[in-house]
Amino acid sequence: MTHAHHAHGGHAHDDHARADNAPADNAPAGQDDAGLADMLDLDGVVLRDYWSSALTWLRRAARHLPRTRLLDVGAGSGVGTIALAQRFDGAEVVAVDQDEQMLDRVRGKALDLGLAPRVRAVQADLDLGLPPVEPVDVCWASMSMHHLANPDRLLGEVFATTRPGGLLAVAEFAEPLRHLPDDLGVGRPGLEDRLLTALNHQHAHELPEIGADWPPRLTAAGYTVLEHRTFRIDVRPGRDADAARYAQLWFERLAQGFTDSVADDDLEVLDLLIGDGPQSLRRREDLHLHGERTVTLARRE
Ligand SMILES: C[S@@+](CC[C@H](N)C(=O)[O-])C[C@H]1O[C@@H](n2cnc3c(N)ncnc32)[C@H](O)[C@@H]1O
């Protein structure tokens, strides 16, 4: 078996608009590799309805702003960065992340899409503070705040660099996304419940800000919270290669982190799901990606 790290993930639906997908945010803390970047990219594909709903909402809320500069905090592989650059015509988008590998993806996508002159990728450890950025009009922070040692400090710094009237949108999740039917027809029913219980336990130690109540945190940083919206993710992709790969990457990361906290028979089933045999996620037609993501929208008055 191959077990090795951890993951986190989550997702959402719009109260009004329905999202067929969810972003990915569940990537493990501190493990940066091509697998995580792939998973984030697939989050944008498989959960495209969520992304579209959330960013369209932000775009509309920002329609009166001059839109000269946007900031993507913890940009990852750039799903949000690129979508923002496409939606905010003519604006500069600054993507900040600590991981150069991620930022290379951002730069590559920007180049491919003719957005390079407007997309700037900046490497920085946000735990050491926001790097110098010119004043911004809109900040997007997706699945990144819960990674930070002190998100309140960063929120204060983002507030300070936001022009009056500017917006902040914080996308987060309370629980990772679920992918599997309760009874897989292999192993004991309830595998994913047990995995998520173990993951939640792990997150409580490693990522204590997951599931935080973000609106009061934004208020404390000086913002006026405009709305806290829940996006439901409910995607039945059938036999879809992207969704299967997305799930596979998720469970690979889970397996890597759970060698001690999950029963051996569950780890064996996990390996069957990740593998290429008859039980492989790639052969299943019953994946059901579901969960919730939240986006808190706030303004600097
Ligand atoms: C779950 S990913 C989300 C990426 C992207 N925002 C998205 O929604 O697809 C979290 C990102 O935060 C970045 N990150 C975590 N801690 C960080 C820190 N201290 N400084 C800068 N970036 C950080 C990680 O490198 C990773 O790319």
pLDDT digits (tens, 9 = 90+) for 175-230: 889 999 999 989 999 999 999 999 988 888 889 899 999 999 999 999 999 999 99
Segment 125-136 mean pLDDT: 97
| CA-atom Rg of the chain in angstroms | 19
Residue 215 sits at φ, ψ, to 5 deg, of: -55, -50
Please, are residues 40 and 81 in contact by the beta-carbon 8 Å criterion? no
Cβ of 31 below 6 Å from ligand 1: no
pTM across the whole model: 0.90
Tokens encoding 134: 């010119």
Tokens encoding 280: 């492989």
Rounded Cα gap, residues 172 and 168, in angstroms: 13
Mutate to test the pocket of ligand 1, among 147, 154, 207 (most ligand atoms within 8 A of CB): 147
Cβ of 32 below 6 Å from ligand 1: yes
- Predicted confidence (pLDDT) per residue in 99-113, tens digit: 999 999 999 999 999
CA 143 / ligand 1 centre spacing (Å)? 7
Q: What are the b/e assignments for 121-138, b being 16+ CB within 10 Å? A: bbebebeeebeebeebbb
